[in-house]
Amino acid sequence: MKNKIAFITFCLTLVAPTFLTEGAQGAQKQKRSRAGRNVKSVQSAAVTLTDKGYQPANLKLRRGVPARVTFIRRIEETCGTEIALPAYTIRRALPLNEPVIIEFTPVKAGEFNFTCGMGMLRGTVIVQ
């Protein structure tokens, strides 16, 4: 009986490190591949409010990819002291010469308006 236990112990000392190393490496590879799949890039855009309105007036974004849109108001004499994106229930103050970052994920394809607080100035988010 002692000889069998000694033999099994000897075999495990030879084989176990290989299994443990391969198992650990496999787990690390799987963890990296899962992390790579879950990480999505962020699409960015910038819109400036000038005396000519929103520049650019149209933004093209990809559906399902998180978006970070920076709005900045450069003109004082305007009703554009707020930015609203009703389709995403977003409404934010737009102070003069201060960037305002709006983050959202476009989930549906289509065209969605962004406006000033009064709805007089308009732009469009085009989600493809």
Please report the pLDDT score of residue 1 as a whole number. Answer: 58
Q: Where are the beta strands (DSSP E) in the chain?
A: 43-50, 53-55, 58-61, 67-73, 82-85, 90-93, 100-104, 110-115, 122-127
This prediction's pTM: 0.68
Give the tens place of pLDDT for each residue, 17-62.
Answer: 544 445 555 545 444 444 444 456 999 999 999 999 999 999 999 9
